[in-house]
């Protein structure tokens, strides 16, 4: 199987003060790997402000994303786990795992979402990822 998320785009046990900073940190991994421009991070934060915590898809898990735009240079995924979970204002709070997704168009958006859902929505996977103490542990779980 093709690598879903590179180890350079994974951080574990990150300390953040709130959901905005959590999106900021997960997005910064994609910015650093030149998958997005800075504005895409702002768009993800604005999406939560405008539409509510729809990104919190499951207990403890948020899929940070915004609509495809010119600020997405290349499809990319990043993932962070949080030292202390944060609230988005969702019934699935608190969030401890944040997957950040950036797609160049709607077609790739759907295929990336499908691949992510197959991997992360299996029973207990969010808890297994959240309990990893190393980037390599998360990398192995996601890409195995």
In DSSP terms, 10 is beta-bridged to: 79
Q: Is the pLDDT of residue 62 over 50?
A: yes
Mean pLDDT of 56-68: 94
Strands 61-64 vs 56-58: parallel, antiparallel or unpaired: antiparallel
pLDDT digit string (tens) for 82-135? 999 999 999 999 999 999 999 998 787 777 778 777 787 788 999 999 999 999
Number of Cα atoms under 13 Å in the Cβ half of residue 112: 22
DSSP-assigned letter for residue 93: P
| pTM summary value | 0.93
pLDDT band at 71 (very low <50, low <70, confident <90, very high): very high
pLDDT in tens, 73-82: 999 999 999 9
Phi, psi of 98 (to 5 degrees): -125, 120
Greatest CA separation for the chain: 37
Residues 6+ apart with CB under 8 A from 110: none
Separation between Cα atoms, residue 3 and residue 142, nearest integer Å: 8
Q: Is the pLDDT of residue 49 over 80?
A: yes
Residue 140 has pLDDT above 80, yes or no: yes
Which are the contacts of 13, defined by CB distance < 8 A and separation ≥ 6?
81, 82, 83, 133
- Asked if residue 56 lies in contact with residue 62, where contact means CB atoms within 8 angstroms, the answer is yes
């Amino acid at each position: 199987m093709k690598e879903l998320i590179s180890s350079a785009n994974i951080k574990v046990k990150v300390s953040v003060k709130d959901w905005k900073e959590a999106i900021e940190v997960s997005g910064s991994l994609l910015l650093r790997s030149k998958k997005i421009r800075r504005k895409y991070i702002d768009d993800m934060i604005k999406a939560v402000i405008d539409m509510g915590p729809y990104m919190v898809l499951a207990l403890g898990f948020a899929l940070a994303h915004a609509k495809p735009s010119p600020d997405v240079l290349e499809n990319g995924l990043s993932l962070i786990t949080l030292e202390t979970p944060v609230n988005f204002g969702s019934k699935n709070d608190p969030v401890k795992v944040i997957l950040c997704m950036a797609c160049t168009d709607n077609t790739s958006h759907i295929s990336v979402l499908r691949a992510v859902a197959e991997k992360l929505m299996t029973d207990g996977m969010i808890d297994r990822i959240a309990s990893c103490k190393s980037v390599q542990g998360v990398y192995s779980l996601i890409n195995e």
